[in-house]
Amino acid sequence: MTATVEGVPLVLYLAVSGALFLLGLLGVMTRRNPLLLLLSVELLLNSANLSLVAFSRYWNTTDGQVFALVVMAVAAAEVVIGLGLVVAVFRQRLALDVDQMSSMKG
């Protein structure tokens, strides 16, 4: 923000994280291919991780980094289930479009 600052202040990291979050949000709301939807969700999780690690640096504590690692494990689990669902849907009918996946049946 100010020209005299040598390093990178926290507010810039938060701005980058916010920009990535907005991009991911836009992707989740406008994408129709479930694969691309999951990619946008990854973008959202990464922006949250960036905020966590930036605050961890700001408060001089390890907690934020630990939570970022937990978020990564949850992201891995989410991708496994999400891609499993995509493949299961793909094998039943051919259109890969979240618009047409509107009915649930056991």
Partner 1 sequence: MGERIVFTVAAASAIASGILVVTLKGPFRATVALIGTLLSVSVLFLLLMAPFVAAIQVIVYAGAIVVLFLFVIAYLGERPVAEIGDRLGRYAAFAWLAVIVLAVQGVVVLTTTRLPGVRDDPKPVDDIGSPEAIGRSFIDDFIVPFEATSLALLVAAVGAVLLAKRAIRSEGGR
Judged by CB under 8 A, the chain residues 18 through 47 that form the site for partner 1 are: 18-20, 22-27, 29-33, 35-36, 38-40, 42-43, 46
- Helix (H), strand (E), coil (C) string for 40-106: HHHHHHHHHHHHHHHHHHHCCCCHHHHHHHHHHHHHHHHHHHHHHHHHHHHHHCCCCCHHHCCCCCC
State yes or no: residue 101 binds partner 1 (CB under 8 A): no
Q: Least distance from C-beta 103 to partner 1, angstroms?
A: 14
- The residue whose two tokens read 């991708």 is 79
Judged by CB under 8 A, the chain residues 80 through 99 that form the site for partner 1 are: 80-81, 83-88, 90-92, 94-99
Judged by CB under 8 A, the chain residues 44 through 63 that form the site for partner 1 are: 46, 49-50, 53-54, 56-58, 60-63
Please give the size of the binding site for partner 1, defined by CB under 8 A: 79
Through-space distance between the first and last CA atoms of the chain, rounded to whole angstroms? 55
